[in-house]
């Protein structure tokens, strides 16, 4: 799954990277602890080109009477997204990209303590998560989204059995619906060697934590980067 991530790119850099027109109001960056139910940056295709706008991370199906009427849907499984009533139409018609610098996952120590890891591209490039979105509410509609996840590749499976669906630049147009059909074929685990990871400070276990120190290596003298011991 993906339950927390970081975004450090300035908004104009994101707009340039995705060749998108930025909205006037976007979430503040950098944000080293992006949490569910908060606003995230999202890229979607439109009649006038790609748009970079804010969406609420937590997909709200149209039948929800309130934002808390059901489970907080922050992820959508690639294997079942096309059949799930909440996501099926969005999977066909409303796909978007969510930029990220990296994301967090957790393992458990022998004493049950949660040990956070920061995961990023090995080449240092930004990540583009595949996502779906839904406009919810009639009086004051809000765009909401969920990140698509796949089975983890072999390298990441030591930390978690799921991972976000990460798309390469040549696949962005296909996912956004600009390059015809075939988005379903993109829903595969990331290539081996795509990601690197290292332990980070347990301070990030709190959704109130903030600051660049959250993504810095923690205990590097004991735990080498890129593998578990």
Active centre residues (catalytic): 2, 105
User: CA 145 → CA 2, 13, 96, 198, distances in Å?
Assistant: 13, 22, 8, 28
H/E segment holding residue 132: strand 127-136
Bridge partners of residue 150, in order along the sequence: 163
Please, are residues 142 and 134 in contact by the beta-carbon 8 Å criterion? Answer: no
Residue in 3, 185, 19 with CA at minimum distance from that of residue 100? 3
H/E segment holding residue 15: helix 11-17
Measured distance CA(105)–CA(182) in Å, rounded: 30
- List the structure tokens of 8: 């450090």
């Amino acid at each position: 799954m993906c339950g927390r991530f970081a975004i450090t790119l300035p908004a104009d850099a994101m707009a340039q990277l995705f060749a998108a027109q930025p909205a006037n109001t976007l979430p503040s960056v950098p944000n080293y602890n992006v949490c569910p139910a908060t606003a995230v940056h999202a890229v979607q295709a439109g009649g006038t080109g790609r748009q970079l706008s804010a969406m609420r991370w937590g997909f709200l199906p149209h039948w929800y009477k309130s934002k808390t009427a059901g489970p907080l849907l922050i992820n959508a499984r690639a294997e079942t997204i096309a059949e799930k009533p909440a996501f099926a139409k969005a999977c066909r018609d409303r796909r978007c990209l969510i930029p990220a610098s990296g994301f967090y996952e957790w393992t458990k120590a022998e004493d049950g303590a949660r040990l956070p890891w920061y995961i990023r591209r090995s080449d240092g490039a930004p990540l583009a998560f595949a996502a779906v979105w839904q406009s919810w509410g009639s009086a004051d509609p809000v765009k909401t989204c969920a990140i698509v996840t796949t089975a983890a590749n072999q390298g990441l499976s030591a930390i978690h059995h799921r991972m976000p669906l990460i798309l390469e630049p040549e696949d962005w147009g296909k996912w956004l619906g600009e390059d015809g059909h075939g988005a379903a074929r993109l829903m595969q685990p990331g290539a081996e060697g795509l990601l690197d990871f290292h332990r980070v400070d347990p301070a990030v276990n709190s959704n109130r934590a903030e600051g660049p120190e959250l993504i810095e290596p923690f205990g590097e003298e004991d735990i080498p980067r890129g593998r578990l011991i």
